[in-house]
Each structure stands twice: as structure tokens, then as C-alpha cells.
């Protein structure tokens, strides 16, 4: 099929693009490289360096005529969204509407959206969270993700564009950027292997649901199948505290540096965990990687010659 991936040079988007091309699909990638990296790009994908808010996006859609759009591009920093809600909305809401309008104009039949489980549900409600419970986003980032889900419903009802919104837990794995993306696992792996001091915001007892990148990509692929639609949690159903995550990565890296505690950050909830039973029933998806298995693969990548070469190149530039 003809497919378009926004954010296809990023962490999740590049892994997804690789799998789509392996399956024999024609893939177009749109990414402004604000957090994505050129070295993540699959050479077989047609690449456009473009912001999703750009009027020039219409030319990409007109030429590509994608049957399916995977929408992963956007502003991903929760803390920055708290400090500047307007900028976050301009990218995540206005930019997404630009994508949706082009889907409508050029006959895209389905869109799969990367939503956020933790940010959408907030800190109030059942743990693990289920899709039917009330959403209480505690950050502009979470509010924007929820707003886009509602727009997706509007476009499906009025224009027949089927959608799947995947409410992702805390995704981690190889290629995650420890500098620009809000991934505590990547930050810990990078700093511990560099033997740099670790700073934990808050008391470290806050919990997250950590799901490995390969499992997440599998969910995106299953979401494309005929008849699949709606909102689904993609997580493990298990809570892990930041302190527990630290201890696991410390064991894998042999870290001997200091751990420091800073003030808690605004907009970040104390607990987050997702019930994936709906995805298991309707998408035939369930996580396959344990946290230990996923962390081992992640640490191996951060300790690889490939990543070290990337760091040296970045420093020289």
C-alpha cells in the first residue's frame, strides 16, 4: 500500500517505517528533523523535510496519495507544553488538522494516530487505566492529544476516514534521543554509560508503564488491518517506579556515579499504567517483551559502536 508517516525520522516513526518497507509498502516520510535524525531514515522511503503545519504539505499528499497515514509528528515535551501551551497547540493541534485536511482532500482511507495514555488520563482514575474512564489531562500536551482524538472522530463521522488512536504508555528502546525526547529510560542509559550523575525529578516513587519499541510497532501494524477502529491502550499493565527503573539500568550498565533528587515537574502525574485488554481482544495485540529484556536491548544499543560514533559526530559539529 501507499503509506505516509509523519515523524518518520523520529524514534518510533523510524522503527515503524522500517517495518512498513520490509512488508513491501511504498512509504513517504514527513519530518522537520526538530527531534528526528537523518541517520534514522530508511533509504527506501521518500523523504520530505517539512513541518506538519506547512502549506506545502498539500503537494506531498497530492503526489503521494497515501491510502494510510501514520501520524506521529508533533511536540513531545510535556514540560515545555506547560511553559508554553500556545506553541504546543500550534504544533500538535493546528499541525494535526493540516494533516487531517489533506487526508480528506486526497482520499486517505485510514489514519493511525500516536496518542498518549499517561498524558490523556492524567493522575485521576483507575490504575491501570481503561479506555472507558474519564480523561483528565494535566498538561497542555495531554489536552492536545485528547483534542486530536476528538477531531479524528469528527473526520471519520463526516468524511469516512477510519481512525485508530493508540494511547501509548512510556515507549523506550534503541534510537530514542536522550537529549530531545522526553524518555527517562534513554536519559538514564546514556548518562550511566557516560558515568554522569543522575538527577531524578521528585522523590522517584512516581510510576510509569514502560513498553518496548518493538511491541509498539507491532500495535501500529495491527491497527492498519481492515475493520480495526477506535481508541486503544498500548502498554504492559505493570507499574514501575523511576527508582526501580534506575536500579535495573544501573545493574545492566555497572553505573557507579551519584543519584541526585530535584523538584518535581509541573504537569507530570504521580502514577501511570495502562490496561491493554481491549487491544488484546480487538487488535490481537499484547506486549511480548519484559522490562528486563527490553532494557537489555536498549542498553546494548546505547553501548554500541554505532551510537558512540553518532555522539562523536554530534560533538564535532
> CATH no. for residue 109?
3.40.50.720
Is 258 in contact with 243 (CB distance < 8 Å)?
A: no
DSSP labels for 273-288? -B--HHHHHHT-----
**Domain interval for residue 231:** 2-172+210-235+269-288
Q: In this structure, is residue 152 part of a structural domain? A: yes
Q: What are the tens digits of pLDDT across the range 69-96?
A: 999 999 988 889 999 999 999 999 999 9
Q: In this structure, is residue 132 part of a structural domain? A: yes
Q: In this structure, is residue 259 part of a structural domain? A: no
Q: In this structure, is residue 314 part of a structural domain? A: no
Residue 268's closest CA among 102, 141, 157, 112?
A: 141
What is the Cα–Cα distance from 112 to 96, expressed in whole angstroms?
Answer: 12
- CA dist list (Å): 1 to 13, 113, 177: 17, 18, 30
Which pLDDT value is given to residue 126? 87
Q: In this structure, is residue 154 part of a structural domain? A: yes
Q: In this structure, is residue 8 part of a structural domain? A: yes
Q: In this structure, is residue 260 part of a structural domain? A: no
Active site residues: 141
Q: What are the tens digits of pLDDT across the range 137-177?
A: 999 999 999 999 999 999 999 999 999 999 999 999 999 98
**Structure pTM?**
0.94
Q: Residue 101 in 3-state DSSP?
A: helix
Average pLDDT over residues 174-196: 88
Which pLDDT value is given to residue 182? 60
Q: In this structure, is residue 258 part of a structural domain? A: no
Number of domains the chain is built from: 1
Amino acid at each position: 500500500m501507499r503509506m505516509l508517516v509523519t515523524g518518520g525520522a523520529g524514534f518510533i516513526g523510524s522503527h515503524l517505517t522500517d517495518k512498513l518497507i520490509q512488508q513491501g509498502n511504498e512509504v513517504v516520510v514527513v519530518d522537520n528533523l526538530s527531534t528526528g535524525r537523518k541517520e534514522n531514515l530508511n533509504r527506501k522511503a521518500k523523504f520530505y523535510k517539512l513541518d506538519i503545519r506547512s502549506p506545502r504539505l498539500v503537494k506531498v499528499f497530492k503526489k503521494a496519495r497515501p491510502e494510510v497515514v501514520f501520524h506521529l509528528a508533533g511536540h513531545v515535551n510535556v514540560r515545555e507544553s506547560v511553559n508554553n501551551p500556545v506553541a504546543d497547540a500550534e504544533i500538535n493541534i493546528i499541525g494535526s488538522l493540516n494533516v487531517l485536511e489533506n487526508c480528506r482532500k486526497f482520499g486517505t482511507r485510514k489514519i493511525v494516530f500516536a496518542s498518549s495514555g499517561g498524558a490523556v488520563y492524567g493522575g485521576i482514575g483507575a490504575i491501570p487505566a481503561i479506555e472507558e474512564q474519564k480523561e483528565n489531562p494535566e498538561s497542555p500536551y495531554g489536552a492536545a492529544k485528547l483534542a486530536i482524538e476528538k477531531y479524528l472522530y469528527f473526520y471519520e463521522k463526516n468524511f469516512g476516514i477510519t481512525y485508530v488512536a493508540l494511547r501509548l504508555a512510556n515507549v523506550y528502546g534503541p534510537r530514542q534521543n536522550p537529549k530531545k525526547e522526553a524518555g527517562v529510560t534513554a536519559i538514564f542509559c546514556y548518562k550511566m554509560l557516560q558515568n554522569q550523575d543522575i538527577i531524578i525529578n521528585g522523590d522517584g516513587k512516581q510510576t510509569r508503564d514502560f513498553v518496548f519499541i518493538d511491541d509498539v510497532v507491532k500495535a501500529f501494524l495491527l491497527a492498519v488491518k481492515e475493520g480495526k477502529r477506535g481508541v486503544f491502550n498500548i502498554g504492559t499493565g505493570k507499574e514501575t517506579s523511576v527508582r526501580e527503573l534506575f536500579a535495573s539500568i544501573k545493574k545492566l550498565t555497572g553505573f557507579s556515579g551519584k543519584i541526585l533528587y530535584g523538584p518535581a515537574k509541573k504537569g507530570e502525574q504521580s502514577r501511570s499504567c495502562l490496561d491493554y485488554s481491549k487491544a488484546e481482544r480487538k487488535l490481537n495485540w499484547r506486549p511480548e517483551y519484559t522490562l528486563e529484556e527490553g532494557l537489555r536491548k536498549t542498553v546494548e544499543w546505547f553501548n554500541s559502536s554505532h551510537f558512540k560514533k553518532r555522539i562523536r559526530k554530534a560533538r564535532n559539529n
